[in-house]
Structure 1
Amino acid sequence: MGLIARLSRIVPLVILLAVVAAIIYLVVTYRHSPARAKEVLIQVFTWVCGVLSALFGVASVYAFFDNAPAVLDLTLSFMAVGLVGLAITRLCNRRFLKHNPHYRKKRLAATTHRRWPWQR
């Protein structure tokens, strides 16, 4: 029963992330293309899930040292959602790049710029 109670507390966060994802996807699809929308969505959610995990991790440490078990339980649940979201976005990124290799970042060729007094 305790697991169901924990999961019910994180439902609003998951719903909020899903709504934000849908809005981002629709806007970028309208402006560019579905492939570009997926790339942007993956980048945004990788960043968001990483930041959420870090913030809730810091809050968990603070709750642990403040001896607040209810807050610790809640922040650990939220941090777990952030970490699971981060893992999912990394897997989606890997699959996206497998099917769309032209979106990979290419290495730039090294260039040399000669400066004074060596210009010629």
Structure 2
Amino acid sequence: MGFLARLSRVVPLLIIMAVAAGLIYVVVTYRHSPARAKEVLIKIFTWFNGIVVGFFALVSVYAFFDDAPAVLDLSLSFMIVGLVGLLITRIANWRFLKHNPNYRKKRLAATTRRRWPWGK
């Protein structure tokens, strides 16, 4: 039951992330397309979850060596939530690329064309 109580502290962060995701989706859909908006959301949340997991991993290591079991327990539970979020975004990315294979192709780098007298 204590684990669920600690996870309830994450709810405000999840609400903020949901509102931010909704705003990003609406803006990118208006400017580009719904598929592009989904791609942008997946990239943003993958990046964000990676940072969260890394931060709480560092906090967990510090709490372990500082002999702070309460902080270690809390940081490990937050890290687990981050790992689950990272797993969900990776599954969403896989499903997105399955249904939109044209987004799998990487963009080509720009090339420079030299004009006469500087090159052929």
Query: What is the CA distance between 1:99 and its match in structure 2?
Result: 0.5
Query: What is the CA distance between 1:18 and its match in structure 2?
Result: 1.6
> Normalising by structure 1, what TM-score?
0.83
Match of 2:49 in 1: 49
The 8 Å contact of residues 10 and 77 in structure 1, kept in 2 or not, is answered as: no
Match of 1:94 in 2: 94
Paired amino acid for 2:68? A
The 8 Å contact of residues 24 and 37 in structure 1, kept in 2 or not, is answered as: yes
Match of 1:20 in 2: 20
Match of 2:68 in 1: 68
Which shifted more, 80-89 or 12-21?
Answer: 12-21
- How many residue pairs get aligned? The number is 112
Structure 1 residue runs of 4 or more that deviate by more than 6 Å after TM superposition: none
Query: What is the CA distance between 1:56 and its match in structure 2?
Result: 0.8
> Normalising by structure 2, what TM-score?
0.83
5+ residue gaps in structure 1?
A: 109-118
Over residues 81-103 of structure 1, what are the superposed CA-to-partner deviations in whole Å (9 max), with x where a residue is unaligned? 11111100100001001111111
What percentage of aligned pairs have identical amino acids?
71
